[in-house]
Amino acid sequence: KSAQELLLTVAAGRSSPEKAIELPVKDVEFAQYLKATTEFAADNEDVKKKAKEIAGTDRDAWNVARKLAQWTFKNLEWKHVASADAAQTLATREADCSEFSALFIAMARSLGLPARMVTGLAYSGNSFGGHAWVEVWVGKWIELDPTWGTDFVDATHIRDSSNALVTS
Contacts of 32 (CB under 8 A, 6+ apart): none
CA distance 24 to 156: 31
Helix intervals (H) in 4-160:
45-55, 61-75, 86-92, 97-110
Contacts of 154 (CB under 8 A, 6+ apart): 13, 14
Which residue spans within the chain are E strands per DSSP? 77-78, 94-95, 115-123, 128-137, 141-144, 157-159
| Predicted pLDDT of residue 65 | 97
Q: To which H or E segment does residue 166 belong?
A: helix 164-167
Q: pTM for this one? A: 0.86
Q: pLDDT 10s per residue in the chain (168 long)? A: 455 566 666 555 556 677 889 999 999 999 999 999 999 999 999 999 999 999 999 999 999 999 999 999 999 988 888 778 888 888 888 888 899 999 999 999 999 999 999 999 999 888 988 899 999 999 999 999 999 999 988 888 888 876 555 554
Contacts of 141 (CB under 8 A, 6+ apart): 135
